[in-house]
Copies of this chain bind each other. A is one copy, B any other.
Amino acid sequence: MRSGDVTFIQAARRAQIIGGAIEVVAELGWAKTSIRKIADHVGLAMSAVLYHFGSKDKLVEAIVEAMYAAAFDVVIPAIERETTASGKLAAYIRSNIAYFDTHRTHLAALTQISSEDLRLSDETAERVAALDPVAILAAGQADGEFGDFPPGSMAIALRGAVNAVVEKILRQPEFDARSYGEDLVRIFDKAVAAT
- The CA of A110 and the CA of B137, in the complex, are separated in Å by 29
Which residue of B29, B149, B150, B163 contacts A160 across the interface (Cβ within 8 Å)? B163
Per-residue CB contact flags for chain A residues 160-191 toward chain B (1 = under 8 Å, else 0) read 11111101100000000001100110111011
Task: Determine the chain B residues whose CB is within 8 A of the CB of A112 once the complex forms.
Answer: 112, 115
Tell yes or no: A24 within 8 A of B by CB: no
A108 within 8 A of B: yes
A190 to chain B: closest residue by CB: B191
Chain B residue, CB-CB nearest to A167? B114
Residue pair A153, B167 in contact (C-beta under 8 Å) = no
Does residue A135 face the partner (Cβ distance < 8 Å to B)?
no
CB distance from A173 to the nearest CB of B (A): 15
Shortest CB distance A187–B (Å):
6
User: In whole angstroms, what is the CA distance A186 to B114 when docked?
Assistant: 29
Contact of A159 with B by CB under 8 A: yes
- A residues contacting B by CB (< 8 A) are 29-31, 108, 111-112, 114-117, 149-150, 153-154, 156-165, 167-168, 179-180, 183-184, 186-188, 190-191
The 9 closest A-B pairs by CB, nearest first: A160-B164, A153-B183, A157-B161, A160-B160, A160-B161, A191-B191, A112-B115, A150-B183, A156-B164
